[in-house]
Structure 1
Amino acid sequence: MDESSIARYILDRFPGIVPVQAWGETSFFYNPGRALPRGVYFATLKSSDGDNDRASQLDRPSVFRLNIGVGKAIYRSLFGAPPGRPAAGGVVDTAHDFTALDTVLPHPVYGWMSWVCVLNPGPATFESVKPLLAEAHGLAEQKFRKRLGAAGGVRSMRPTVT
């Protein structure tokens, strides 16, 4: 699997997703109709190290990481209790090798928030994360509805492209 294939899968499979490219990653927000300023993070594809995230060594040639925001129950079923929040610039305290390819892992920085990741997923591993993407999409929908309600149901004034 490559980044563009994964991005296509996400955009084709899950409605209401808006991709945003910034900081060496493509972030996928659930934001149907762009009703909220940003929407709700759902997943990201990251292909380079950032200031606070070097644990996966993404600056290796052709290495990228798929990050997925799953719920606590799914996270616990995979890895046990989420780790504590790391200090600024640190990584979560687990025994995982965050440089391992084609392996579902806790996210090295956001594992404490029940995010998981996989570097360069192969076809079989990607099949195993499809339910995780569906879980994350469902959670993003729920959070979106709450935020939209808190915002008074305000809709974007941007025209809809048809």
Structure 2
Amino acid sequence: MTIDEIIDFVSSLDGVLAISPTAGDPWPELSWGDSFFYYSPDGVVPTKTQPFATIVTKDYPDDQRSHLDRPDTFRVNIAAGKEAFIDRIGHSPKQTVTEEVDYSVTDTVIPHPIYGMGGWLAVVNPGTRTDAATRELLQTAYDRARSRYERHSESDSR
């Protein structure tokens, strides 16, 4: 999968706000070239929630274990949740031991190097082995974000 294929897939889901900052945008320079996906049917960046998925194209100061500084390397990060995490990784997110994971491996579903304990999964350069899994996990993260939004909307209207 390419970055554009992932952006197109996620953006096609109802109510998704996709942000891909570039030079000159109001977003921090560090975020330029990356993409952030929110469930936001009103098209406004939510202030009280994180994206349900992101694409990062470079190492961040506190997140360098995927070695995204390699040419043509990116990572899709997915807030899959505990059940999907267990299904894909085989144990609870709380049992993730970061030293035992090669976070630079490509085309493999892995715990997120920073947020794995929160049920986030990641794939560096998704390819033929992980195309279907990546799409499924993105759909799961979208469904979770949409459900969370709807629950909060219902409680706010009471």
Contact 2:17 2:44 in 1 (8 A): no
* Larger RCO (alpha carbons 8 Å, 6+ apart): 1
The Cα of 1:124 is off from its aligned counterpart by: 3.7
Task: Deviation per CA, 1:75-95: give whole Å up to 9, x if none.
Answer: 11222011369xxxxxx6252
The TM-score, its normalising length taken from structure 2, stands at 0.82
**Residue 111 of structure 1: aligned partner:** 116
Question: Do structure 1's residue 9 and structure 2's residue 20 form an aligned pair?
Answer: no
Question: Do structure 1's residue 57 and structure 2's residue 67 form an aligned pair?
Answer: yes
Q: Which amino acid aligns with 1:83?
A: K
Contact 1:44 1:68 in 2 (8 A): yes
**Residue 24 of structure 2: aligned partner:** none
**Alpha-carbon distance change, 143 to 98 in structure 1, aligned in 2, over 3 angstroms:** same
1:4-153 alignment, distance < 5 Å: 4-12=4-12, 14-20=13-19, 21=21, 22=27, 23-24=31-32, 25-34=34-43, 37-38=46-47, 41-79=51-89, 80-83=91-94, 93-150=98-155, 152-153=156-157
**Alpha-carbon distance change, 40 to 144 in structure 1, aligned in 2, over 3 angstroms:** farther
Q: Percent identical across equivalent pairs?
A: 30
Task: Deviation per CA, 1:53-105: give whole Å up to 9, x if none.
Answer: 111011111100011111211111222011369xxxxxx62521000011110
**Alpha-carbon distance change, 37 to 43 in structure 1, aligned in 2, over 3 angstroms:** closer
Rounded to whole Å, the distance in 2 between the matches of 1:41 and 1:148 is: 17
Find the residue that maps to 1:83 and give its secondary structure.
Answer: helix
In structure 1, stretches of 5+ residues that fail to align are 86-91, 154-162
The Cα of 1:134 is off from its aligned counterpart by: 1.3
The Cα of 1:36 is off from its aligned counterpart by: 6.5
**Alpha-carbon distance change, 57 to 141 in structure 1, aligned in 2, over 3 angstroms:** same
CA root-mean-square deviation: 2.1
In structure 2, stretches of 5+ residues that fail to align are 22-26
Find the residue that maps to 2:51 and give its secondary structure.
Answer: strand
Rounded to whole Å, the distance in 1 between the matches of 2:145 and 2:112 is: 18
